[in-house]
Amino acid sequence: MCEPGRVASVTSDPATIERAETIGSTEESLDLTPRHSLDTPWRAIVWNDPVNLMSYVVYVFRSYFGFSEAKATRLMLQVHHEGRAIVATGTRETMEAHVHAMHGFGLSASVDRAES
């Protein structure tokens, strides 16, 4: 054993490895609470851009998501006035597919975890 407060010497031979003494106690706590619940859905967000016409955005929402004219128009106006709209929620993989499709239509979109 080594003296308190000193580090033990270490060798490569397991039979001669000395163990350092633990002096005092160290209290350590870890927060293992998950930041997000596994059942928290993800969301697909379409962002405003200066390129696409409002009528085109309505067309994309109707043709891709199958939204009614009224819902597609409401979401398009939300994008236009508020800068973004959540167009879908669900699993991460599904939302990534929706965002990829929106990019294919030339729209700006991203995936984000829904707030719990």
pLDDT, tens digit, 9 for 90 and up, residues 85-103: 999 999 999 999 999 999 9
Question: Is residue 11 helix, strand or coil?
Answer: coil
- Per the structure, the count of domains in the chain is 1
pLDDT at residue 115 is higher than 90: no
Looking at the domain assignment, is residue 56 inside a domain?
Answer: yes
Looking at the domain assignment, is residue 62 inside a domain?
Answer: yes
- 10 pLDDT band (50/70/90 cuts)? low
Give the other-Cβ count within 10 Å of 93's Cβ. Answer: 10
Looking at the domain assignment, is residue 21 inside a domain?
Answer: no
Whether the CB-CB separation of 15 and 61 falls below 8 Å is answered with no
Looking at the domain assignment, is residue 27 inside a domain?
Answer: no
Looking at the domain assignment, is residue 28 inside a domain?
Answer: no
pLDDT at 19: 47
- 37 pLDDT band (50/70/90 cuts)? low
Looking at the domain assignment, is residue 49 inside a domain?
Answer: yes
Q: Could you tell me the pTM of the whole model? A: 0.66
Q: Which CATH number do you get for residue 49? A: 3.30.1390.10
Looking at the domain assignment, is residue 61 inside a domain?
Answer: yes
Q: For residues 91 and 38, which has the higher predicted lDDT (pLDDT)? A: 91
Domain that holds residue 76: 42-113
Looking at the domain assignment, is residue 98 inside a domain?
Answer: yes
7: Cα separation from own chain's centroid: 44
pLDDT at residue 60 is higher than 80: yes
